[in-house]
């Protein structure tokens, strides 16, 4: 069953862990699953990710950033997402077009309509069937993300996590506005909870979603 599920949320919302857990669960049920992420997911897009997130590139202007996210997405959709859906697989993707609306639109204040057009171009008009928004307060998310950098002693992707608090607040509010505007597609998951509880919320939503799909 081809199905495209995206995960969204601010830094430190726990998406990556939850995607791994859901992947295990779905595979256990016999589904064929592809786990991927943006920016990245294939070699060319991973190289673009390296440019986008490297602290040396903090002078990058928002328009350049927007175009690089779009370029990475175009490659990723062509190489990974479209073929996987065509092969009837479930695709779990860590961030997708909503991230561009939230970060470059609400966060950087670039024109939303322009971003929507670019998203359509880059995604070949592929839209997620379901989007799980892991929502939590900025303070909690950023605290987790910074701790991860310290633990890993990895500073190569730290640029976004040092952004101003107001930027992350705008991104969070942006995500919530996107979710409110598309209640059919989005499910908001309370992510300031223990990991097992977040997983439970996600599994409930996935079960409901599959049931709704089957009864259509």
Q: Which is nearer to ligand TMP, 118 or 130 (CB)?
A: 118
CB 39, CB 73: distance < 8 Å: yes
Q: Which is nearer to ligand TMP, 61 or 214 (CB)?
A: 61
Q: Which is nearer to ligand TMP, 99 or 130 (CB)?
A: 99
Q: How far is the CB of 36 from ligand TMP (least distance, A)?
A: 11
Q: Which is nearer to ligand TMP, 24 or 154 (CB)?
A: 154
**What does 191-202 look like in DSSP terms, one character per residue?**
-SS-HHHHHHHH
Name the residue number minimizing CB distance to ligand TMP: 103
**Interface contacts to ligand TMP, rule CB under 6 A:** 11, 37-39, 69, 94-95, 99-100, 103-104, 160
Could you give the residue ranges of the DSSP H alpha helices within 153-194?
165-181
Rounded Cα gap, residues 149 and 165, in angstroms: 17
Rounded Cα gap, residues 148 and 194, in angstroms: 17
Q: How far is the CB of 213 from ligand TMP (least distance, A)?
A: 26
Q: What does the DSSP 8-state code read for residue 149?
A: H
Q: How far is the CB of 27 from ligand TMP (least distance, A)?
A: 22
Among 98, 99, 92, 82, which residue's Cα sits nearest to residue 20? 92
Q: How far is the CB of 134 from ligand TMP (least distance, A)?
A: 11
């Amino acid at each position: 069953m081809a199905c495209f599920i995206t995960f969204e949320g601010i830094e430190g919302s726990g998406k990556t862990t939850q995607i791994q857990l859901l992947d295990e669960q779905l595979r256990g049920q016999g589904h064929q699953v592809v786990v991927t992420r943006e920016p990245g997911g294939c070699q060319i897009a991973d190289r673009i990710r390296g440019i986008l997130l490297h602290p040396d590139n903090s002078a990058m202007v928002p328009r350049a950033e927007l175009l690089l996210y779009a370029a990475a997405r175009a490659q990723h959709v062509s190489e990974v997402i479209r073929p996987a859906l065509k092969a009837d697989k479930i695709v779990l993707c860590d961030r997708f077009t909503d991230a561009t609306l939230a970060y470059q639109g609400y966060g950087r204040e670039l024109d939303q309509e322009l971003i929507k057009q670019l998203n359509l171009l880059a995604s070949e008009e592929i839209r997620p069937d379901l989007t799980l928004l892991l929502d939590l307060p900025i303070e909690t998310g950023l605290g987790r993300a910074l701790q991860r950098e310290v633990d890993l002693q990895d500073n190569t992707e730290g640029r976004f996590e040092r952004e101003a608090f107001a930027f992350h607040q705008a991104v969070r509010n942006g995500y919530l506005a996107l979710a409110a505007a598309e209640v059919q597609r989005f499910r908001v998951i309370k992510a300031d909870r223990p990991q097992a509880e977040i997983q439970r919320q996600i599994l409930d939503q996935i079960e409901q979603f599959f049931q709704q799909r089957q009864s259509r």
